[in-house]
């Protein structure tokens, strides 16, 4: 409840109104000049409307906001349309089929016109000797091997020399072999031969080679050039590396290393042609020897092989990922006996060693080798990974042409190990012979087939049955051939008197496997299919 005060209007004199107000209308009772008591008066509600709120309402503004529009899209898919079509011949009607109609006169005229040409070609084929000695075999092929040629060089065989290496040229028509005698300690006066036969030449004489090169030292290994059919490289027992041109019978020697500080001090066990990184059509020669060095040679003018890169294997720098036998006291170099390059990485290669353990190495290694061997170029340490060893020296390694991580190794313990580049232990181990194994090769056309050569004078091809995992690899002897043991295998190598560090080495001489794995067409094989 609000109290409202009414204003009073004063009269002209003002005293009467004021007095009345002061006395509350009781002046007459109290008397003039006396103030009367104040009295409360209750009035109605008084309200004052606000004009400011009305003014603010007129000035109000309306605002709004909205997000960006959301983009939408519709997509539809539909299965590929298919259509079926059927063709059916009409049902044969009753009656006899009409006889074919032909123009006898035109047929006779055609035969008279081509008679002379046909008779001439028939007479020409009759006089040809292209199919002399060919006989059609209508029977099913058997799992046998047919020996087409038995090649030999009588002067070398008369001196009791052995076949130490075999290699095919890039055309597949010329096969070369090296002769030497490694059981004679007087190696300095030993002469050997490199002989080549062209199997596609008419009138081939198995006892008369197409080319003969006389070498002053025993030839341990051969390798034909990948693109030049007449160039062949060889490693000698003296440590030298030579390259011959068989198209020059008068002067076949093309390049040689000579006996320098860069030359190997032990026998060279394998040579390989490698393309240059920047020029794939130019090739260098890589050589490995039991002195622990892996060398790369480049042919230069004046018939000289110049050392361009070098690697050395030292015991102290081998990876310690697997337990190895402690080397003899004072011996620091690791003798290498075999090399194989990966088909997928040109800088990756595997080495076989005299200690029995394979090594994964790289040409891109930059670590310096801790060796005192003299060299005109800095020697580097290529070893990156050590694999579990064999029970004896490893004389052959082979990388799979179909899988980047698989490779085989064959050792004198009679076992073939299948390794993966990713682990030290072998995936599987196969005992193929109680004697030494000197060579192993993957098949270039069948991923599950490989061949091995043993010290018994026999070789065989083995294959893994389909569906088997690597650890349950089951060998199946597809074929087996007995070869002449005394001309393909030699057990011991003599001491090299020129270099005191040289020791008797086990020679891997049964390289007849190269003859099998490189060109199986020379000995036709009938392989049964895997079940």
User: Concatenated DSSP letters for 264-301?
Assistant: -SS-EEEEEEEE-SS-TTSEEEEEEETTSEEEEEEEET
Q: H/E element holding 20?
A: helix 15-23
- What is the structure's pLDDT at 462? 61
What is the CB neighbour count within 10 angstroms for residue 163? 27
Report how far Cα 153 is from the mean position of its chain's Cα atoms: 39
- What is the structure's pLDDT at 241? 94
Residue 88: partners with Cβ closer than 8 Å, 6 or more residues away: none
CA distance 13 to 103: 164
- What is the structure's pLDDT at 183? 65
> Do the beta carbons of residue 235 and residue 219 sit within 8 Å?
yes
Tokens coding 115: 């008679």
> Do the beta carbons of residue 505 and residue 291 sit within 8 Å?
no
- What is the structure's pLDDT at 95? 62
CA distance 161 to 155: 9
CA distances from residue 308 to 138, 224, 296, 362 in whole angstroms, order as listed: 57, 21, 6, 16
pTM: predicted TM-score of the whole model, two decimal places: 0.62
CA distance 383 to 406: 18
> Do the beta carbons of residue 515 and residue 277 sit within 8 Å?
no
CA distance 388 to 423: 9
Handedness of CA 223, 226, 232, 238 (dihedral sign): negative
In the block, residue with structure tokens 């098949």: 443
- What is the structure's pLDDT at 6? 52
3-state secondary structure of 337: strand
CA distance 218 to 224: 18
pLDDT tens-digit profile, the chain (531 residues): 444 545 545 445 455 554 555 555 544 445 555 666 777 877 777 777 777 766 666 566 677 777 788 888 888 877 777 888 888 777 766 666 666 777 888 999 999 999 999 999 999 988 988 888 888 777 766 666 778 888 999 998 888 888 888 999 999 899 999 988 766 555 556 788 999 999 988 888 899 999 999 998 889 899 999 999 999 999 998 889 999 999 988 889 999 998 888 899 888 999 999 998 777 778 999 999 988 999 999 988 778 899 999 999 988 888 886 666 666 555 578 889 999 999 999 999 999 998 889 999 999 998 988 888 888 899 999 999 999 999 889 999 999 999 999 999 999 888 999 999 999 999 999 888 888 888 899 988 888 889 888 877 655 666 553 433 333 333 333 333 333 323 332 323 333 333 333 333 333 333 333 433 333 333 333 333 333
Tokens coding 382: 């290529």
CA distance 70 to 75: 16
Cα three-residue angle 450-460-425, rounded to 5 degrees: 45
Tokens coding 188: 């300095």
CA distances from residue 76 to 73, 81, 413 in whole angstroms, order as listed: 10, 15, 67
- What is the structure's pLDDT at 302? 77
**DSSP letter for each residue of 312-336:** E-BGGGS--SS--PPPPTT--B--E
Q: What are phi and psi of 70, to 5 degrees?
A: -85, 125
β-bridge pairing 379-380 and 304-312:
parallel
- What is the structure's pLDDT at 230? 92
Using only C-alpha atoms, what is the Rg of the chain?
A: 51
Handedness of CA 430, 433, 439, 442 (dihedral sign): negative
Nearest alpha carbon to residue 218 among 413, 509, 531: 509
Listed in order, strand segments (DSSP E) in 387-474 are: 394-399, 406-411, 415-420, 428-431, 437-442, 449-454, 458-464
3-state secondary structure of 175: strand
What is the CB neighbour count within 10 angstroms for residue 202? 6
Q: What are phi and psi of 12, to 5 degrees?
A: -60, -45
CA distance 95 to 97: 7
> Do the beta carbons of residue 215 and residue 165 sit within 8 Å?
no
């Amino acid at each position: 409840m609000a109290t409202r005060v009414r204003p009073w209007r004063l009269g002209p004199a003002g005293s009467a109104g004021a007095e009345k107000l002061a006395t509350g209308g009781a002046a007459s009772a109290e008397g003039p000049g006396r103030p009367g008591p104040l009295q409360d008066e209750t009035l109605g509600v008084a309200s004052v409307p606000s004009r400011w709120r009305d003014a603010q309402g007129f000035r109000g503004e309306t605002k709004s906001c909205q997000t960006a529009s959301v983009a939408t899209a519709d997509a539809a898919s539909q299965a590929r349309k298919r259509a079926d079509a059927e063709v059916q011949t009409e049902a044969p009607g009753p009656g006899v089929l009409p006889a074919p109609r032909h123009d006898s006169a035109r047929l006779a005229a055609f035969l008279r016109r081509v008679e002379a040409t046909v008779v001439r070609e028939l007479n020409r084929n009759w006089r040809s000797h292209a199919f002399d000695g060919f006989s059609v075999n209508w029977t099913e092929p058997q799992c046998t091997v047919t020996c087409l040629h038995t090649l030999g060089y009588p002067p070398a065989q008369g001196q009791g020399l052995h076949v130490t290496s075999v290699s095919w040229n890039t055309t597949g028509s010329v096969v070369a072999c090296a002769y030497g005698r490694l059981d004679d300690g007087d190696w300095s006066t030993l002469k050997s031969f490199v002989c080549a036969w062209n199997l596609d030449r008419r009138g081939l004489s198995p006892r008369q080679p197409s080319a003969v090169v006389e070498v002053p030292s025993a030839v341990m290994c051969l390798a034909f050039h990948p693109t030049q059919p007449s160039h062949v490289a060889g490693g000698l027992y003296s440590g030298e590396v030579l390259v011959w041109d068989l198209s020059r019978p008068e002067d076949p020697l093309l390049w040689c290393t000579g006996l320098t500080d860069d030359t190997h001090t032990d026998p060279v066990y394998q040579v390989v042609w490698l393309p240059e990184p920047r020029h794939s059509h130019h090739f260098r020669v890589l050589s490995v020897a039991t002195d622990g060095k892996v060398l790369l040679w480049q042919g230069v003018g004046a018939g000289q092989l110049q050392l361009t890169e070098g690697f050395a294997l030292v015991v102290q720098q081998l990876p310690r990922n697997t337990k190895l036998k402690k080397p003899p006291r004072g011996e620091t170099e690791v003798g290498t006996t075999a090399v194989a390059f990966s088909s997928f990485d040109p800088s990756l290669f595997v080495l076989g060693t005299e200690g029995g353990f394979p090594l994964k190495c790289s040409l891109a290694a930059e670590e310096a080798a801790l060796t005192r061997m003299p060299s005109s170029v800095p020697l580097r340490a290529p070893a990156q990974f050590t694999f579990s060893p064999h029970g004896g020296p490893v004389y052959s390694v082979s990388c799979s042409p179909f899988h980047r991580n698989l490779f085989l190794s064959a050792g004198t313990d009679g076992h073939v190990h299948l390794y993966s580049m990713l682990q030290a232990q072998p995936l599987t181990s196969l005992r193929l012979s109680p004697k030494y194994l000197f060579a192993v090769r993957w098949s270039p056309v069948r991923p599950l087939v490989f061949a091995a050569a043993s010290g018994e004078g026999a070789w065989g091809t083995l294959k893994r049955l389909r569906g088997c995992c690597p650890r349950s690899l089951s060998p199946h002897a597809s074929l087996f051939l007995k070869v002449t043991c005394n001309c393909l295998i030699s057990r011991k190598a003599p001491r090299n008197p020129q270099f005191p560090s040289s020791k008797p080495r086990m020679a891997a001489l049964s390289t007849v496997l190269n003859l099998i794995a490189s060109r199986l067409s020379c000995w036709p094989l009938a392989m049964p299919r895997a079940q």
